[in-house]
């Protein structure tokens, strides 16, 4: 008889779904592709597999009769053979379950004496009653440059007394966009190169037209600002070091045009914005400060490339006529889950 236990882990997905770690008596077709860790107890082994953001991604955890922890990578294990308790081989699958299916629960046979939980009815878990089970093992808690550009899945099927694992992945962003993890969701960001003139309103519309219904974006982290500066530097080189502006989200409010140096007007609250994730100017590197330009008709945030202040933020005119030509704008949109 198979012995199983389910451990709950919440993911950044729809509130009706949750990841369950389903532990079964069984053995991967090989441990050779897995990383062995004799310093991790079984429950710590499972937790490490779930929380690690290392690449290759950890798809499942396993242990053998020696109580060795095995961390098995994405695409590493393609089948698991069911076993019995006497063999002491265990595998922990990471499975997404619909919480609405858990309204009536029954007690599962205990595997670890310290960890009891309930599971749905059905044989051959994690494919209860031989229904295919899916896993999303993308590390949603990754930050900055560690964040993967793809969503990583696997599907578990039960047939001929073996669990087969099929892997797949889909891009989180459109081509040429870079994925970054924001506080509550993923974000895709890039520069769209254009030709002057490009007024602020046209940049806002350009984000809708050319970025998959995106918006004119600001930045919420140093990693995002680094992307803007890096891509802007490539455009600067392609323009043979010709000075230019990059339009970013943010236009000074009419009220703050008259009082740009007040505390509120120097904060994000002093600007009309599209990108509501930007709550401060923490990662903006101003040439002067966030009150600059107001008295000279420069009310829109730009990134400057002029050979002196490359990659720094300033203010430019919002209309077609600008002190420097506008050759790009920052585009962003929410990433696929």
Condensed to tens digits (0 to 9), the pLDDT of residues 143-198 reads 445 566 788 889 999 999 999 999 999 898 988 898 888 888 889 999 999 999 99
Residue 291 and residue 201 share a domain: yes
Least confident of 66-70, 92-96, 99-103, 219-223: 99-103
Give the model's pLDDT for residue 115: 46
Give the model's pLDDT for residue 105: 34
Residue 92 and residue 153 share a domain: yes
Identify the residue with better confidence: 64 or 6.
64
Give the model's pLDDT for residue 95: 80
The yes-or-no verdict on residue 3 having pLDDT over 70 is: no
Residue 146 and residue 104 share a domain: yes
Q: Determine the Cα–Cα distance for residues 228 and 207; give it in Å rounded to an integer.
A: 15
Number of domains in the chain: 2
Torsions phi, psi for 71 (to 5 deg): -105, 110
Q: What is the pLDDT of residues 228-244, one digit of tens each?
A: 999 999 999 999 999 99
Quote the pTM value.
0.70
Work out the average pLDDT over 36-52. 90
Least confident of 71-75, 83-87, 217-221, 307-311: 83-87
Q: Determine the Cα–Cα distance for residues 45 and 39; give it in Å rounded to an integer.
A: 9
Residue 317 and residue 257 share a domain: yes
Pairing relation of β-strands 244-252 and 326-334? parallel
Q: What is the CATH number of the domain that holds 223?
A: 3.10.100.10
Residue 138 and residue 237 share a domain: no
What percentage of the chain has pLDDT greater than the value 70? 82
Give the model's pLDDT for residue 128: 75
The yes-or-no verdict on residue 1 having pLDDT over 70 is: no
Residue 158 and residue 193 share a domain: no
Q: Determine the Cα–Cα distance for residues 181 and 177; give it in Å rounded to an integer.
A: 13
Domain boundary among 143, 171, 199: 171
Work out the average pLDDT over 59-69. 93
Contacts of 276 (CB under 8 A, 6+ apart): none
Give the model's pLDDT for residue 21: 80
Number of helical H runs and strand E runs in the chain: 5, 20
Residue 230 and residue 106 share a domain: no
Residue 289 and residue 145 share a domain: no
Residue 312 and residue 242 share a domain: yes
CA distances from 255 to 63, 149, 216, 217 (A): 65, 41, 22, 23
Residue 281 and residue 238 share a domain: yes
Residue 214 and residue 98 share a domain: no
Q: Which domain holds residue 308?
A: 178-334
Domain boundary among 171, 187, 204: 171
Q: Determine the Cα–Cα distance for residues 286 and 295; give it in Å rounded to an integer.
A: 17
The yes-or-no verdict on residue 104 having pLDDT over 80 is: no
Give the model's pLDDT for residue 130: 77
Torsions phi, psi for 331 (to 5 deg): -115, 140
Give the model's pLDDT for residue 17: 54
User: Minimal CA–CA distance to 54: which of 135, 134, 142?
Assistant: 142
Contacts of 15 (CB under 8 A, 6+ apart): none
Domain boundary among 138, 171, 204: 171
Mean pLDDT over the full length of the chain: 85
Residue 69 and residue 215 share a domain: no
User: Minimal CA–CA distance to 209: which of 218, 201, 219?
Assistant: 201
Q: What is the pLDDT of residues 110-137, one digit of tens each?
A: 344 444 455 566 777 777 777 788 888 8
């Amino acid at each position: 008889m198979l012995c199983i236990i389910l451990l709950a882990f919440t993911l950044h997905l729809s509130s009706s779904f949750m990841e369950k770690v389903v532990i079964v008596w069984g053995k991967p077709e090989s441990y050779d592709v897995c990383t062995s860790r004799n310093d991790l107890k079984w429950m710590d082994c499972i937790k490490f597999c779930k929380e690690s953001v290392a690449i290759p991604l950890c798809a499942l955890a396993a242990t053998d009769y020696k109580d060795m922890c095995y961390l098995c990578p994405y695409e590493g294990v393609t089948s698991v053979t069911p076993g019995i308790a006497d063999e002491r081989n265990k595998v922990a699958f990471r499975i997404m379950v619909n919480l609405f299916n858990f309204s009536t629960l029954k007690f599962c046979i205990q595997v670890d004496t310290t960890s009891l939980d309930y599971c749905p009815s059905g044989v051959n878990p994690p494919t209860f009653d031989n229904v295919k089970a899916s896993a999303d093992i993308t590390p949603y808690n990754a930050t900055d440059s560690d964040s993967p550009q793809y969503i990583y899945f696997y599907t578990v099927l039960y047939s001929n007394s073996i669990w087969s694992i099929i892997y797949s992945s889909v891009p989180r962003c459109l081509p040429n966009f870079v994925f970054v993890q924001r506080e509550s969701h993923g974000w895709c960001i890039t520069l769209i190169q254009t030709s002057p003139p490009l007024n602020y309103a046209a940049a806002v519309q350009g984000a809708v037209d050319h970025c998959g219904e995106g918006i004119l974006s600001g930045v919420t982290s140093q990693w995002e600002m680094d992307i803007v500066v890096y891509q802007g530097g490539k455009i600067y080189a392609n323009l043979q070091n010709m000075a230019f502006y990059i339009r970013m989200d943010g236009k000074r409010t009419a009220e703050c045009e008259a009082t740009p140096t007040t505390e509120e007007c120097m904060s994000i609250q002093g600007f009309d914005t599209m990108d509501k994730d930007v709550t401060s100017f923490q990662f903006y590197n101003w040439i002067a400060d966030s009150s600059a330009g107001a008295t000279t008709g420069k009310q829109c945030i730009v990134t400057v490339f002029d050979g002196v202040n490359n990659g720094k933020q300033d203010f430019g005119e919002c209309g077609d006529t600008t002190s420097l030509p506008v050759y790009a704008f920052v585009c962003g949109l929410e990433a696929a889950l």
